[in-house]
Chain A
Amino acid sequence: MFDRRLFTNFDWTLLALVLLITGFGVINIYSASSSYREIGTPYFLKQIYWTVAGILLCLTVCSIDYHMLEDFAYWLYGAVLILLVLVLVAGKTSMGATRWIHLGFFTVQPSEPMKIVIIMTFARFFSRYPVFQGLTLRDLLYPLALLGAPALLIMKQPDLGTAILVSLIAGTMLLFVGVRWSALATMAAAAIPTIFLGWRFALHDYQKKRIYNFLNPDLDPQGSGYHIIQSKIAVGSGGTFGKGFMHGTQSQLRFLPEQHTDFAFSVFAEEWGFVGCLVMLTLYLFLIFWGLGIAKRCNDRFGSLMAVGVSAMLFWHIVINMGMVIGLFPVVGVPLPFFSYGGTSMVTSMVGVGILLNISMRRFMF
């Protein structure tokens, strides 16, 4: 099974690209957290530890032939779904949301692995599903149920960001499989009353407030609109070449909320300017294209679907996070992959990369 070709075909470009982005991330975290008074290990160092752990995990993932994942997909889906139910029943509440669950000796946040698991589940589902003329509404019934169950559970926690992400990942995969225009039009028509009802009944007040603030941040500049305004000021004041490493006034003054995690890019934009941002965007775009390229070159449907799913996962994280930082989207707690501080995000993203590497290096294996 283990073949020399695996090594020869190892996708060094992808790994190098990821490490390059992570490196920028660590440097940026160093600056972003320099104004904190820390006890213990500094954030940038912890991020390095997480990176090392992430890479080991990534290599573990790519050492198992991804075709085996096909057999596990539904089991994993079921297991994570049960955990999501357990979170609601017996979860641990922190900062007003219940996202964690104690499993005896450690705690897990099952909404995070759901991002990967939904990719596997959809890939599994559609790899054996004959599609000729695109999916009809009828065809969409099962997949939407598979998506709806976890998405609603996650939204209930409440973790709108993750719920949206899971839905966007699944949606992108559906588009890749192909949906009929008629089905798309019907869904769009149905979406309007759903959004209306959702706004009335499903969204929490703080979530509505965030959306209001996004639509008009100047209404409440001292309250929750504050984050958007401060982040925009940080990004814009960076100008063409930025204020220089460690010299961002907005970040060193700690105007930015969670500036080493969700708003890390804001610090980067302030200190490195438009030129820095252009470099980062190019790197990220290259990463996404590379992922889609793997999907395109893959010889089997399951692998191809998985590669599209992982690319979609990374893509939507990037777009939502950056969109939030530059005031295009409302504030939802979505980290920038490989760039924001945090072990959870690092692990999920690295597992995703592991899957891509896995598919990439086994493309000749038939």
Chain B
Amino acid sequence: MKAHSGIIPDGDGSRRIIWISFGAFAMFFLLLSRLWYLQMIDTDNLLDQSENNRLRFVPVAAPRGAILDRNGKVLVSNTPSFSVAVIPKDVKDREQLVSSLARLLKLDPKEIQDKWNKGQGRAKYYPLVVASNISRDQMEYLEENRLSLSGVNIEMKPVRAYPNGELASHLLGYLGEVSEEELGNERYKDYNAGDYTGKSGIEKSWETFLHGTDGGRQIEVDARGRFLRTVEETASTVGNSVMLTIDLDMQKIAEQAFGDKAGAAVAIDVNTGEVLAFASNPGFDPALFTGRLPPDKWKEYLEDKRHPLENKALKGMYPPGSTFKIITAIAGIEEGLIDAHSSVDCPGYYKFGNATFKCWDKKGHGHVELRKALRESCDVYFYKLAERLGVNRIAAYAKKFGLGAPMGIGLDNEKGGVIPTEEWKRKRFGTKWFSGETLSVGIGQGYVLATPVQLASMIATVANDGVIYQPHLVKRIVDLDGKPIKEFPAQQVGRANIKPSTFKLIKEGLFAVVNEPHGTGGMARLAEVKVAGKTGSSQVVKMRDSKGEVPYQFRDHALFVAFAPLEKPEIAVAVIVEHGEHGGSAAAPIAGKLLRAYFEGKGVIKKPVSKQEAKGEQAGDAGNSGTTPAAEEETE
């Protein structure tokens, strides 16, 4: 092999490469000398700086946005809460610190120890919360004893405050620590372990708006980990507020009206789809879920037969009972099977094959036309109509009114209810449809299930002559200064194509329910405003005539759907009282109170001067006035 002297035309290249190599070497030598200086000579000083006079990063949680009612009244806001954190690296004597913290905070040392162990995996320089939600007194007491507590930090962070207690707890939802699973999700990429996030209700669905942006502080601490000064601070940005369509006053009245009964009430603005009240009773205390939930409280919630943790308005699926007769009647008229004057004779039962379907009134209703059938909720009339319609035609009309599918109200896990068809049954149970089942469907029993939200939207659609607005809970998003960021206007999502004359007939019938003698819904009557509605009682279990008191969980559900005013409807409500037995006596009064509250708010009805409960002087006799009839095959 020949030797390679660079053959570069100008001849000096080779020499210059050597010079350049020298230059490169010199530069590297310079770098190395500097490294020598830093790492071999000045190292003690710099090591000292890195160990003792250290900076710490303290995340600063952004205050969450508030949740407001439609008039800007506060439903959920924030309040400062103090927690105690340790920085494990700065702790000299762990045993001793735990025992003094336990003494100062009057906590069980084991509890502090447990929290400490749980956070063991994380970096030693990150603050680890060992006690949260301490009182202001405890905080001050700790602050005084600061000198003996090295490595302890007191952190202030905003927590949720619920000025109205349990009010609208299901709707608002609660917060919880972001879970391990959520942390791996793209949506939570800016969250750290220990951060709070909405776990249900509005808090969850509107998390992105409410959360805000966390900030952070670089603080300098001394050799014992005590705070010296703030070096750099990135401010947190407060989350935006969510203004609901809910009216605080109506919400209160709705929840109070239930007393200790379980159930749900939904009120909708007929002309916009805005939900004015969204009550599920009983409620729970959302504040309990943010801190440590006392085990006894948890047990109490779980053992309560009324299921306080369940959002009944959204997820409760109930047989709509006689409120469903509205759909059956509309189907009958539209299909040309009945008109205002078609009549049926009700002897109190209907023989179908070798089964007997009873009317809720054993005495029978005699000669029944549509108006009377609705007013007095005659079952036999609707058995016969349902038989002629067949289940598929009934289902088609029910679906036109939004039943059988979630409404998309904007909360997680909304239920869709069930509207059965022959095909549905084949798929679900693999068995064929029996025509007797159609009769049950005609009066809203059997497989039919609907949520309170769906029923409210259904009656609002009737009030609206078929126009369906998207029921929604959020009116707008506003920033800290109250400036609107996003508006959610009324949105028409569909139209039930039904003849206006059909709606007219139905509305007359529904008006009769509330306002005529023998009407089942007299307890929802208002003197100043024309209310139209329909009662319902839906069977929970099939029972043969049983004797004596029926156990709570087997009693019928009481339902009532209504709208008002008759001519120019503004508001629609749906009320369900679980195991309330009779729609007319248990649910209608609640609807009446809600409607009254609405019209009082509008100034249409004058508020009573004395706090005298406006007692309906009527009680539209019918079978609802108190005598407990034995549970029927099918009830009113």
- Residue ranges of A at the interface with B (Cβ–Cβ < 8 Å): 35, 37, 39, 130-132, 172, 175-178, 222, 226, 232-240, 249-250, 252-255, 269, 273-274, 277-278, 281, 284-285, 288-289, 292, 295-299, 301, 304, 308, 315, 319, 322-323, 326-328, 363
Contacts and interface: CB of A to CB of B under 8 A. Distances in A.
Contact of A176 (B7, B9, B13, B189): B13
A250 B25 CA distance: 30
B26 to A, nearest CB: 11
A216 B460 CA distance: 73
B235 interface: no
A88 B46 CA distance: 43
Contacts of A178: 10, 12, 16
B54 A253 contact: yes
Nearest to A222: B231
Contacts of A233: 46, 49-50
Given A39-B184, A233-B49, A250-B50, A285 B25 contact: yes
B30 A328 contact: yes
A269 B14 contact: no
B21 A323 contact: no
Nearest to A38: B189
Nearest to A35: B123
B485 interface: no
Nearest to A295: B17
Given A236-B46, A363-B4, A292 B24 contact: yes
6 contacts: A239-B40, A252-B125, A308-B20, A319-B27, A323-B31, A326-B35
Among all A-B residue pairs, the 9 with the closest Cβ atoms: A236-B46, A237-B50, A236-B38, A274-B39, A237-B47, A239-B43, A297-B4, A296-B6, A237-B46
A274 B49 contact: no
Contacts of A253: 54-57, 123, 125
Given A273-B39, A285-B28, A328-B34, A132 B10 contact: yes
B32 interface: yes
Contacts of B40: 239-240, 274
B186 interface: yes
Nearest to A288: B24
Contacts of B36: 274
Nearest to A312: B20
Contacts of B16: 175-176, 178
A105 to B, nearest CB: 23
Q: Which of A35, A237, A273, A323 has the most CB of B within 10 A?
A: A237
Contact of B49 (A177, A237, A296): A237
Given A239-B39, A253-B57, A253-B125, 14 more contacts: A131-B10, A176-B16, A178-B16, A226-B232, A235-B39, A253-B54, A253-B123, A292-B17, A296-B13, A296-B17, A299-B4, A304-B13, A319-B27, A327-B38
A212 to B, nearest CB: 18
Interface residues of B, number: 48
Contacts of A35: 123
A234 B45 CA distance: 11
B356 interface: no
Given A237-B50, A240-B40, A274 B35 contact: yes
B31 A281 contact: yes
A171 to B, nearest CB: 11
Nearest to B31: A322
Interface in B476-506: none
A281 B32 contact: yes
A45 B56 CA distance: 29
Contacts of B38: 232, 235-236, 326-327
B42 A236 contact: yes
A289 B13 contact: no
A163 B36 CA distance: 30
Contacts of A326: 31, 34-35, 38
Given A176-B17, A253-B125, A292-B21, A236 B39 contact: yes
Contacts of B31: 281, 319, 322-323, 326, 328
Interface in B38-92: 38-40, 42-43, 45-47, 49-51, 54-57
Contacts of A281: 28, 31-32, 35
Contacts of A39: 184, 186, 189
B8 interface: yes
B435 interface: no
Contacts of A250: 50
Contacts of A235: 35, 38-39, 46
Contact of A278 (B32, B125, B192): B32
Contacts of A234: 50
Interface in B579-602: none
